[in-house]
Structure 1
Amino acid sequence: MATSGSDDDLAAATIGELKPYAIQVVLEDYNPRWPNWYAAEAASVRDALGSLVLRLEHTGSTSVPGLAAKPVIDILLAVPDTTDEAAYIPALEGIGYTLRIREPHWYEHRCLIRRVEDGAPYNVNLHVFSPELAAVEIERMLAFRDRLRTHDGDRAYYDATKRELAQRSWKYVQHYADAKSDVVEAIMARALQG
């Protein structure tokens, strides 16, 4: 989520109540089941949306073998128009998703979630973009993932940063994400250089 970590910005982008995280981030060592969880979730999304799925990718730390992560499957979904929520959100709600984030100022990003506490088999963040609006951001996200998959030094650096930051307490999980941004940008710069 590109929203800055200010409480007002977080509240403005959040659908429903913005609940403080108020605990330490829990990271797990890489779990070889994570790609299978993604594959099952991707099949459900494709079944629900059909031809509206323009692109579907496993992103985030659970998509990188050997990298510690919060046990949340991050998925990038590209649809023709994220602002046409009636075209895709009801179908996603039908398979257990809840719209949680709406960011019109950041590529019209939407984030839907599924959570274990609500009956899902695992936690999922489904990040929805439109290629027409967010082509550059989509490619940045995938370049970052691919860099971590193929460069041991960058993966180890990111892993160490995450583990150090996870030792702190955060009011909102977005604050933890924001704290990683300098490291992410440094790795991203290397990824985009080729």
Structure 2
Amino acid sequence: MSDGPGDRTRRRDDVTDVELVGGVEQRELYLLDHDPAWADQYAAHEARIRAALDDRAVAIEHIGSTSVPGLAAKPIIDVLVTVPDITAEEDYLEPLLAAGYLLRVREPGHRLVRTEQRDVHVHLLEPDDVAAHDYLLLRDHLRRDPDDRDLYEATKRELMTREWADMNAYADAKTTVIEAIKSRARSHPGGRRP
């Protein structure tokens, strides 16, 4: 059975629908200036995830705005965990749930667990998934390019002045500027997809 990134053999077919566990949630959205403590929070969760998954995680990375020094962010730590087979949930999902994370999203190629406090989001993808590459591409570019970092922050601050039904609507509204930044990042040496 081959049905995804890299046409790999999977244990089973992946899900075909989006399951948002708990339904749509409206949350207060706000930005904080970059807090160096976010790196420590990430490190604590990286250790927790490593303890839960052992060698079942291909890689664990701090992503999102909290991973970019100097960038204002929602105080939510985003973690990227790549796993060999997204359909083999028994290998990674069960251990993460046992470690205290809660399932929030199950969708084709992607799972998301989070803390009960909703202050940490763990994105699970396969290593050759374009989304995994793009998370790292955006993070690395924003770390080295102050103009795009400022553009991204200004965009987020402007979007914070609006009302949003949920965080997904806010995230979708950032898509145009994120795609433009990623396009510039791809033109930078080392920015091309593997």
Where on the TM-score scale, by shorter chain, does this alignment land: which range?
0.7 to 0.9
Corresponding residue of 1:151: 145
Corresponding residue of 1:14: 19
Note if 1:73 corresponds to 2:69: no
Query: Post-superposition shift, 1:130?
Result: 1.2
Corresponding residue of 1:45: 49
**Could you report, residue by residue, the CA deviation over 1:94-115 in whole angstroms, capped at 9, with x for unpaired residues?**
11111111111xxx11001113
Root-mean-square deviation (Å): 1.4
Q: Number of paired residues?
A: 172
Give ranges in structure 2 of 5+ residues lacking alignment. 1-16, 189-194
**Could you report, residue by residue, the CA deviation over 1:16-51 in whole angstroms, capped at 9, with x for unpaired residues?**
321331x55211111110011001100110011101
In the alignment, the residues of structure 2 paired with residue 16 and residue 56 of structure 1 have an alpha-carbon distance, to the nearest angstrom, of 23
The structure with the greater share of residues assigned to helix is 1
Structure 1 counterpart of 2:75, which letter? P
Note if 1:86 corresponds to 2:87: no
Corresponding residue of 1:115: 116
Corresponding residue of 2:4: none
TM-score for both structures, normalised by structure 2: 0.85
Corresponding residue of 1:172: 166
Corresponding residue of 2:134: 140
Corresponding residue of 2:37: 33
TM-score for both structures, normalised by structure 1: 0.85
In the alignment, the residues of structure 2 paired with residue 116 and residue 20 of structure 1 have an alpha-carbon distance, to the nearest angstrom, of 13
Corresponding residue of 1:126: 122
Give ranges in structure 1 of 5+ residues lacking alignment. 1-11, 118-122
Q: What SS does structure 1 have at the residue aligned with 2:155?
A: helix
8 Å contact from structure 2 (residues 102, 116) kept in 1: no
Query: Post-superposition shift, 1:14?
Result: 3.2
Structure 2 counterpart of 1:128, which letter? L
Structure 2 counterpart of 1:37, which letter? Q
Name the CA shift for 1:169/1:143 in 2 (closer, same or farther; >3 Å).
Answer: same
Identity percentage of aligned residues: 44
In the alignment, the residues of structure 1 paired with residue 170 and residue 42 of structure 2 have an alpha-carbon distance, to the nearest angstrom, of 23
